[in-house]
A = this chain, B = another copy of it.
């Protein structure tokens, strides 16, 4: 079982090799594309009936009803331990505290005397949250999507999660639904769930925007649906990844633990160590071997280590330069002198600074969102925030004075673009 990270010397890397190191799989196989397309067509054509058939086929459950209501959710929520309830409450509170600062009134601007412009936020009315289930149980993802949706003020929050073998949902997820005051959940998983929310079915409402992580089928379905319907999506998603920048001040046990936390997600996860200190890299290799041996998911983590690597740099500027080119979903800077590096980070989803800031804190409870751009999309996408659940609508009002000030300019510009009716809309008001 592999416990070692391949190591490269940064300055010895040719550009083609760097390109290979930067690349990660973002394009699921055509087989995925085909079965997803078939599922989408089936859901569009048959609605609820298709969803029940897929529940039988994929989840091995015969569903009488496709949803659970407030009473059933309450019963499931009551079944979990008090310690777990308390932990979910603390995570909820921190996520709410951080995201609540993201919705702010903007100031009105008078661009010319009598010409007043402003923006006002409006919630996206209907949003669909996909919460993966089955083997992995992810109540944290429900909090990460539900809290900003509530703060934004979305009118309708539709939640889909695959049914467990008993035809219900996990109690931790149920408890989070209660924390979010969501009194309904749909027992649908996979590509069929996002298709159902994009088209709407007899029981599942059509939404304006789809959120949530998922396997490559869910991911592919989201991008296909974005192209064929009016639904928009939070972001394209790929396998999770972390890049750790560490120098001689770093604790190799901490670094190894952070790398392994990423690798246990799945065999296609990627964990990258960029360091200015060969002896730290060596110490991390030893720590990886020791810690990996004790992991329940060691087999998965070992596979992920095969996709992973370490890079030895001469300077921290080289390290940050590589990180910015890679644009990691998660960036951990384990250095005493992390502060000067903050402003140099140009591409990353979420950044963890200092020796005592593990990624897992942000994955669960520190308050930041864990729905983040992967596969290099951090170059152009932000992670999920309240912004993801609102539109900003521009408004403007022009007075008589304002029209006198701006009218001629508009007429000249409309004229030079050859749009005479645009010009006339001002002219009729000036006369």
Report whether A84 and B378 are in contact in the complex, using a CB–CB cutoff of 8 Å.
no
CB of A105, distance to nearest CB on chain B (Å): 11
Report whether B421 and A261 are in contact in the complex, using a CB–CB cutoff of 8 Å.
yes
Task: Find chain B residues with CB under 8 A from A172 CB.
Answer: 416
With contact pairs A125-B379, A368-B117 given, residues A392 and B398 touching in the complex (Cβ less than 8 Å): no
Report whether A382 and B391 are in contact in the complex, using a CB–CB cutoff of 8 Å.
yes
User: A120 CA to B138 CA in the complex, in Å?
Assistant: 28
Most buried by B among A122, A353, A361, A385: A361
Report whether A358 and B426 are in contact in the complex, using a CB–CB cutoff of 8 Å.
yes
Which among B119, B347, B423 is the interface contact of A360 at CB below 8 angstroms? B423
Task: Please state the number of chain copies in the assembly.
Answer: 2
Task: Find chain B residues with CB under 8 A from A381 CB.
Answer: 232, 391
Report whether B125 and A111 are in contact in the complex, using a CB–CB cutoff of 8 Å.
no
CB of A228, distance to nearest CB on chain B (Å): 8
| Nearest B-chain residue to A231, judged by Cβ | B380
List CB contacts (< 8 Å) of A350-389 with chain B.
Answer: 350-369, 375-383, 385, 387
Contact mask for chain A residues 77-119; partner B; CB cutoff 8 A; 1 contact, 0 none:
0000001101110110110011001100011010110010101
A263 part of interface (Cβ distance < 8 Å): yes
Report whether A426 and B361 are in contact in the complex, using a CB–CB cutoff of 8 Å.
yes
A136 part of interface (Cβ distance < 8 Å): yes
A315 part of interface (Cβ distance < 8 Å): no
Q: Which of A7-15, A186-194, A295-303 is near enough to bind chain B?
A: A295-303
Report whether B264 and A409 are in contact in the complex, using a CB–CB cutoff of 8 Å.
no
A227 part of interface (Cβ distance < 8 Å): yes
Report whether A424 and B346 are in contact in the complex, using a CB–CB cutoff of 8 Å.
no
User: A194 CA to B49 CA in the complex, in Å?
Assistant: 42
Report whether B125 and A297 are in contact in the complex, using a CB–CB cutoff of 8 Å.
no
A17 part of interface (Cβ distance < 8 Å): no
Report whether B260 and A424 are in contact in the complex, using a CB–CB cutoff of 8 Å.
yes
Report whether B87 and A393 are in contact in the complex, using a CB–CB cutoff of 8 Å.
no
Task: Find chain B residues with CB under 8 A from A106 CB.
Answer: 101-102
User: A376 CA to B375 CA in the complex, in Å?
Assistant: 30
Report whether A94 and B122 are in contact in the complex, using a CB–CB cutoff of 8 Å.
no
A64 part of interface (Cβ distance < 8 Å): no
With contact pairs A88-B413, A379-B208 given, residues A421 and B115 touching in the complex (Cβ less than 8 Å): no
Task: Find chain B residues with CB under 8 A from A350 CB.
Answer: 393-396
Task: Find chain B residues with CB under 8 A from A378 CB.
Answer: 391, 393
Q: Which of A54-62, A250-258, A276-284 is near enough to bind chain B?
A: A250-258
With contact pairs A364-B409, A421-B297 given, residues A117 and B139 touching in the complex (Cβ less than 8 Å): no
Which among B26, B356, B377, B394 is the interface contact of A429 at CB below 8 angstroms? B356
With contact pairs A261-B419, A295-B420, A350-B394 given, residues A410 and B140 touching in the complex (Cβ less than 8 Å): no
Most buried by B among A140, A354, A360: A360
A399 part of interface (Cβ distance < 8 Å): yes
A150 part of interface (Cβ distance < 8 Å): no
A137 part of interface (Cβ distance < 8 Å): yes
Report whether B98 and A117 are in contact in the complex, using a CB–CB cutoff of 8 Å.
yes
Q: Which of A40-48, A65-73, A306-314, A400-408 is near enough to bind chain B?
A: A400-408
Report whether A366 and B420 are in contact in the complex, using a CB–CB cutoff of 8 Å.
no
A124 part of interface (Cβ distance < 8 Å): yes
User: A421 CA to B125 CA in the complex, in Å?
Assistant: 38
Given contacts A124-B380, A363-B422, A367-B396, could you give 10 more A-B pairs where the C-beta distance is less than 8 Å?
A97-B111, A137-B418, A138-B417, A139-B413, A139-B417, A172-B416, A264-B422, A356-B399, A360-B425, A368-B394
Question: Measuring CB to CB, which residues of chain A are less than 8 angstroms from any residue of chain B?
Answer: 26, 83-84, 86-88, 90-91, 93-94, 97-98, 101-102, 106-107, 109, 111-112, 115, 117, 119-120, 122-125, 136-140, 172, 208-209, 223, 227, 230-232, 253-254, 257-258, 260-261, 263-265, 291, 295-297, 301, 338, 342, 345-369, 375-383, 385, 387, 390-400, 402-403, 406, 408-410, 412-414, 416-426, 428-429
Lowest 4 A-B CB distances belong to which pairs?
A111-B367, A87-B412, A358-B425, A360-B422
